[in-house]
């Protein structure tokens, strides 16, 4: 079998969730959209179900997958419904729903849910993607609060630049949000991962951590709080071939790398079709049998090449970590000119192995 796989440490996921909740001070919805940023939404949500205050996903398809797998905690649809037909399913499966436009308020007003709905009303505080304008916000909130179809309204907004710790836009967005919510007496939700980790003055009743749950920092440099995160995913493979080459020999497509000395080159079963960044430059870090190593040559669809010259003990079958505990995903993403978000979401074609899954093991082996 191809030796390429992603190990997912569910104990690290729980550690990171607890850190998110500790930083936020109140409740936290674990964001598990896009298959839990490539980590497997069902397994991640099951591992957190006992302690998470709830989950957040991008669409009803993702929410139903979690419900079908037995997840009982609240699940918030971050973009609400795309089609009014979804309101029946939202009601049946007890989902929470963002409202980001006035047409959705009209649709809720015409709906007949069996149980009143939990609505998160989104304010556009400056990102200008989803949400209501500040000018309409209060009237929309009051309209929803007056509807028999609505149980509670939570006020939410989303930050555009919270990963830039010297960018004042976060404070401006917070101030605009506070003004729009004044006198409404709603529970609030502002923080994504960068706000939780880097903006201690920005807090609401509900945090919405995503990236940090998976152990990656959203910041460009070291950060005392983000450094407490534990990586959840390790992507690893093995050396499947070794070449001894003289100086001056080209390697791989486009002959991008040419050996400068007599070299031992290892071929690793990992390529851009697996989600490794196609344009990672020569010298991109990886770990070979636990030692720091380097990528050389262009990444192929199914393979990449590493320099083994300074790793005399390494050879066929040597273990290679592409990213994980030794090479942080954020380091690789920065070197390859991509983002950690994209790196995680781009994972493909490899089996995932889960570690630290004690809750499921117990429930499976328990006699009752
Ligand atoms: C994806 C998302 C989050 C989580 O963002 P991270 O930066 O991954 O923590 C929070 N809120 C909303 C509305 C989102 O779409």
Give ligand 1 pocket residues (Cβ under 6 A).
Answer: 31, 33, 78, 158, 192-194, 208-211
Give the mean pLDDT of the chain. 96
Categorise residue 235: left if φ over 0, alpha if ψ from -120 to 50, beta otherwise: beta
Average pLDDT over residues 32-55: 98
Q: Please choose, from the candidates 159, 153, 174, 57, the residue with its C-alpha nearest in 3D space to the C-alpha of residue 104.
A: 153
Instruction: Please compute, for residue 136, the number of CA atoms within 13 A of its CA located in the half-sphere on the CB side.
Output: 13
pLDDT at 366 over 90: no
Output the CA 354–ligand 1 centroid distance in Å. 24
Task: Output the 3-class SS for 40-65.
Answer: CHHHHHHHHCCCCCEEEECCHHHHHH
Q: How far apart are CA 60 and CA 156, in angstroms?
A: 19
Q: Please choose, from the candidates 4, 20, 5, the residue with its C-alpha nearest in 3D space to the C-alpha of residue 215.
A: 20
pLDDT at 148 over 90: yes
pLDDT at 49 over 90: yes
Nearest CA to ligand 1 atom 4: 210
Average pLDDT over residues 161-178: 97
pLDDT digits (tens, 9 = 90+) for 111-129: 999 999 999 999 999 999 9
Q: Specify the ligand 1 atom closest to the Cα of 162.
A: 7
Output the CA 300–ligand 1 centroid distance in Å. 32
Output the CA 325–ligand 1 centroid distance in Å. 24
Q: Specify the ligand 1 atom closest to the Cα of 31.
A: 4
Q: Are 311 and 293 in contact (CB under 8 A)?
A: yes
Q: What percent of the chain has pLDDT over 90?
A: 96
Substitution candidate for ligand 1 out of 57, 97, 194, 210 with most atoms within 8 A of CB: 210
Substitution candidate for ligand 1 out of 78, 79, 97, 196 with most atoms within 8 A of CB: 78
Average pLDDT over residues 65-73: 97
Q: Specify the ligand 1 atom closest to the Cα of 193.
A: 9
pLDDT at 252 over 80: yes
pLDDT at 34 over 70: yes
Q: Are 37 and 233 in contact (CB under 8 A)?
A: no
Output the CA 256–ligand 1 centroid distance in Å. 37
Q: Specify the ligand 1 atom closest to the Cα of 209.
A: 9
Nearest CA to ligand 1 atom 6: 210
Joined tokens for residue 253: 């497509």
Which residues participate in catalysis according to the annotation?
33, 253
Output the CA 153–ligand 1 centroid distance in Å. 19
Please return the burial class of 96, using the count of CB atoms within 10 Å of its CB with bins 0-12, 13-18 and 19+.
Answer: buried
pLDDT digits (tens, 9 = 90+) for 320-331: 999 999 999 999
pLDDT digits (tens, 9 = 90+) for 5-26: 999 999 999 999 999 999 998 9
pLDDT at 365 over 80: no
Output the CA 208–ligand 1 centroid distance in Å. 6
Average pLDDT over residues 25-33: 96
Q: How far apart are CA 350 and CA 344, in angstroms?
A: 13
Q: Specify the ligand 1 atom closest to the Cα of 208.
A: 10
Please return the burial class of 312, using the count of CB atoms within 10 Å of its CB with bins 0-12, 13-18 and 19+.
Answer: exposed
- Alpha-carbon 133 to chain mean position: 28
Q: What percent of the chain has pLDDT over 70?
A: 97
The residues pairing with 126 across neighbouring beta strands, listed in sequence order, are none
Looking at residue 359, its pLDDT comes to 54
Looking at residue 357, its pLDDT comes to 82
Looking at residue 360, its pLDDT comes to 53
Nearest CA to ligand 1 atom 15: 78
pLDDT at 358 over 70: no
The angle subtended at Cα 166 by Cα 164 and Cα 171, nearest 5°, is 90
Substitution candidate for ligand 1 out of 208, 213, 226 with most atoms within 8 A of CB: 208
Q: How far apart are CA 322 and CA 270, in angstroms?
A: 8
Average pLDDT over residues 352-364: 70
Sign of CA pseudo-dihedral 215, 219, 221, 227: negative
pLDDT at 276 over 50: yes
Q: Specify the ligand 1 atom closest to the Cα of 33.
A: 1
Output the CA 31–ligand 1 centroid distance in Å. 7
Looking at residue 318, its pLDDT comes to 98
């Amino acid at each position: 079998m191809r030796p390429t796989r992603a190990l997912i440490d569910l104990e690290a996921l729980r550690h990171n969730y607890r850190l998110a909740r500790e930083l936020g001070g109140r409740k936290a919805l674990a964001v598990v959209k896009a298959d839990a940023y490539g980590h497997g939404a069902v397994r991640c949500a099951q591992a957190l179900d006992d302690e998470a205050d709830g989950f957040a996903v991008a669409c009803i398809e993702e929410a139903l997958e979690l419900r079908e797998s037995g997840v009982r905690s609240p699940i918030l649809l971050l973009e609400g419904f795309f089609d009014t037909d979804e309101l029946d399913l939202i009601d049946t499966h007890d989902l929470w729903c963002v409202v980001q436009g006035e047409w959705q308020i009209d649709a809720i007003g015409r709906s007949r849910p069996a149980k009143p709905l939990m609505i998160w009303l989104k304010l556009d505080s400056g990102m200008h993607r989803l949400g209501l304008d500040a000018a309409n916000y209060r009237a929309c909130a009051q309209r929803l609060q007056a509807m028999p179809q609505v149980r509670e309204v939570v006020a939410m907004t989303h930050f555009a630049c919270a990963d830039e710790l010297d960018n004042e836009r976060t404070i401006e967005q917070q101030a605009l949000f506070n003004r729009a919510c004044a006198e409404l007496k709603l529970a609030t939700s502002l923080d994504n991962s960068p706000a939780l980790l880097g903006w201690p003055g920005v807090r609401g009743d509900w945090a919405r951590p995503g990236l940090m749950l998976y152990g990656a920092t959203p910041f460009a440099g070291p950060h005392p709080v983000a450094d407490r995160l534990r990586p959840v995913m390790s992507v690893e493979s093995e050396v499947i071939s070794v070449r001894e080459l003289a100086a001056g020999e080209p390697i791989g497509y486009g002959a991008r790398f040419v050996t400068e000395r007599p070299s031992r080159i290892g071929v690793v079963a990992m390529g851009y079709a697996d989600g490794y960044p196609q344009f990672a430059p020569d010298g991109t870090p990886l770990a070979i049998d636990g030692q720091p190593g380097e990528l050389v040559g262009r990444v192929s669809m199914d393979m990449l090449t590493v320099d083994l010259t300074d790793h005399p003990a390494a050879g066929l079958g040597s273990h290679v970590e592409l990213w994980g505990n030794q090479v942080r995903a954020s380091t690789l993403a920065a070197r390859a000119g991509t983002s950690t978000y994209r790196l995680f979401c781009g994972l493909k074609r490899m089996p995932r192995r889960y570690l630290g899954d004690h809750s499921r093991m117990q429930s499976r082996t328990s006699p009752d």
